[in-house]
Amino acid sequence: MSEMRTDEAPFYEREIPRLSSWVVWIAFAVVLTSIGVWEYAMRSVGLSTDDIGESPAHWAVERRKVDAGEAEVAIIGASRILFDTDLDVFEEVTGIRPVQLALAGTSASSFLTDLANDPDFDGLLIIGMTEILYFMPPEVGLYEGNLEHYRSETPSQRFGHALHLMLSRALAFIDPDYGLVPLISRGSMGAHERSGTAPPYDEVWKLAFSESDRQTSLWHRIETPGHLNDHAKHAWMAGWALRKPTLLEGFERADETVAATVRDVDKIRARGGEVVFVRCPSAVFYQDIEREHLRRSDFYDRVISETASLGLHFEDYESMQGLDIPEWSHLSASDAKVFTRAYAQELVRQSEWLQQRMARDDT
């Protein structure tokens, strides 16, 4: 380091060493090799570039289709209607491709209110009725913040989303459920540092395979018996044990939820739209909870009756029963196609709104 003096004060100039080009090339090779090794490792565990994942930005893209008048049919609800609906099959049966707005671990009630207050929506709204989530306090939903993101998304956030999509379609390892930090945390199965929070093994891991238009299905590794299937079942039991007091509190406020649902359904109908409810299959652990705490007559049937809506409950249709529910809550990807065809066909038979729209479009 050389010292230069002036009349005012000493000035120091740092000499920057020259960097050999071979050092740059070695660093580049190390980075490229590391990316290649990590990409190979992630593909070997079943990740794919066809899976673009889930985020508030993905959801906002679909929500803006309502604003653009592209939502003749929209779907809201929790992960069951999200995983159990095949958009291609629905379009094949009805001639209409629905806009998928359902969100895992989140009550549909806030999103019903959002669409009820949106003058741009006058279509058919399919609400997936997962009582354990629909009647919980809305503020505890996993993706409640998506509405705020959609309303306030900045140009830079949209650009970031476009860049993320481009990279996701080239690199399978860009999956938040299989990032380095989550993988490291799962190595400490006994870690549980804060009360009221779940240890890593009790948290929900990767369940979904998500494509364009938010076409989502159960990840194939969850469908087959083994460690990940066992873990998913454990996570459902652990989640219920942790959140039971909060959920039961929501169930006790059923009167408020039903009243809000009636109000919102009436708003949609006043604009010429319609609302139907679809109850997807569940099994074993969840079925036991639903029968004990969420009796059909007190929750599902009450919503259908007080809103005067068409309801399609899997228990009422032979074509919607006997399907594969690998982790008790979501259908396998293949049986989601079967279920979608069954409930879409019933909509064609029973929904006057859909019949009129299909006749108008000569579908």
pLDDT at 194 over 70: no
Percentage of the chain modeled with pLDDT above 70 = 93
pLDDT in tens, 321-331: 999 999 999 99
Percentage of the chain modeled with pLDDT above 90 = 82
Average pLDDT over residues 19-30: 83
Least confident of 74-78, 155-159, 191-195, 247-251: 191-195
Average pLDDT over residues 186-197: 55
- Look at residue 180 in the predicted model and tell me its pLDDT: 84
pLDDT at 317 over 70: yes
pLDDT at 332 over 70: yes
Please state the three-class secondary structure of the chain as a single string. CEEEECCCCEEEECCCCCCCHHHHHHHHHHHHHHHHHHHHHHHHCCCCCCCCCCCHHHHHHHHHHHHCCCCCEEEECCHHHHHCCCHHHHHHHHCCCCEECCCCCCCCHHHHHHHHCCCCCCCEEEEECCHHHHCCCHHHCCCCCHHHHHHHCCHHHHHHHHHHHHHHCCCCCCCHHHCHHHHHHHCCCCCCCCCCCCCHHHCCCCCEEECHHHCEEECHHHHCCCHHHHHHHHHHHHHHHHHHHHHHHHHHCHHHHHHHHHHHHHHHHHCCCEEEEEECCCCHHHHHHHHHHCCCCCCHHHHHHHHCCEEEEHHHCHHHCCCCCCCCCCCCHHHHHHHHHHHHHHHHHHCHHHHHHHHHCCC
- Look at residue 191 in the predicted model and tell me its pLDDT: 47
pTM: 0.90
Residue 97's pLDDT band (cuts 50, 70, 90): very high
Domains defined along the chain, listed by start: 53-175+205-360 (3.40.50.1110)
Residue 5's pLDDT band (cuts 50, 70, 90): low
pLDDT at 356 over 50: yes
